[in-house]
Amino acid sequence: MKKTIVLFLLLFPLYFITSQAIRGHVVNDAGSFLSDVNIYIDGTKTATASKEDGSFSLNISPGNSGNVIFQKDEYETFSAPASDIMNKNLKIVLTKMNAIEEIRLVPYTSEAYKNYINYFLDTFIGSDRENVRIKNQKSLKFSYDKKNKLLKVKAPNTLIIENKNLGYEIRYNMISYSSDLNKGMVNYTGTSFFKETKDTDKIRLNRLNAYDGSMLHFFRSMYHNTISEDKFVVNHVIKIPNPKYPTEEELKTLDNFRQIVKSSGVIKIPEDISDIAKRKNSQHPFVLAIVKTMLPDSAYVKRTDEKVLFTFKDILQVNYQKYFYEMKGKEFVKTQYPVILSSYLHPEGETFEVSKEGNITNPDLLINEGDFSKNKIENLLPLDYQPGD
């Protein structure tokens, strides 16, 4: 199904504009003005909406390298780098989503919703259901492929997420969500903007604890060349075959036995088959081995005059001594004893550009495990957050 989005730039130089801003109008493909289009810098609190005549104006801080998102339910979302459309008079044309239903081998059903909604919330939102919730959760659609153990979730409408702990309401435009239950891997992408709903000492304390040692913190340190100063320790890790995991021949034997069980109804399991099954379920095909400790950032960061690039062929272990903050009077002070955070990043040879805000290009291509993978929506901070805000 081909989807098209058209962007017209009326390249009239706005010499009279001194601030960094984008301005213009949003229309549909019939030329009619579109109101209430969400216009925002992805992942930040910088946002506005188009007026009844489709007009909009959004001020942007100088040097912002984020993407500007134009989003309205039932229309195709458009994004463009802020640097490409800054201080131009824009005419944005959004097209309606194609309403023709595709033939689906795996349908989206209410049964799949009921069976997997809690798993989805655990892997997308986090564990704190009382203080972090999706207000329009019922709009989600679920499909589950039993054969391949693949879960997919769609959000036809923008998700409205309330986070009482961090004092934000997040408008999240979920582009995709999939989970491979065989491999235990979850991947989701989307765009978002934040609205501050509460600002108290307790909220600021929660934000600071969510930020300290997070992946956002790590990539900001990478951009500013302060990884060692900020007490991150990075090690070189490789995968090696796990001798306890079944061999290919053993796995084939196990699969053949399962086929026999299906066809004959045999239920007595031989000891050798039982042993293979136990090792398959309890062991991983590979184990991780540290081959070099305390890597300099030059081993995985390339710096040019304009860009900071992150790339590595193997796996990086990122360790961090985290001292939680607590309130003493009106001040935030670190607790006496730290906890050790340990995370694993799998660049797998891909190259990611790192922004000063702590964002990276194509984040869905970077596999992360360990404590970084715990940074779900319940701990998500806007890219324009600064410690102490």
Residue with tokens 């000492």: 201
Q: Of 295, 262, 256, which Cα lies nearest the Cα of 277?
A: 256
Average pLDDT for residues 274-298, to the nearest whole number?
93
- CA dist 358 and 250 (Å) reads 45
Model confidence over 82-130: pLDDT tens digits?
A: 988 988 899 999 999 875 445 567 899 999 999 999 999 999 999 999 9
- CA dist 358 and 312 (Å) reads 18
Residue with the bigger pLDDT between 200 and 183: it is: 200
3-state secondary structure of 223: helix
Do strands 21-28 and 89-94 pair parallel, antiparallel, or not at all (unpaired)? parallel
Model confidence over 35-94: pLDDT tens digits?
A: 999 999 999 999 999 999 999 999 988 777 789 999 999 999 999 999 889 888 999 999
- pLDDT higher than 50, residue 296: yes
| Bridge partner list, 8 | 91
Rounded to two decimals, the pTM is 0.85
Model confidence over 11-34: pLDDT tens digits?
A: 333 333 445 899 999 999 999 999
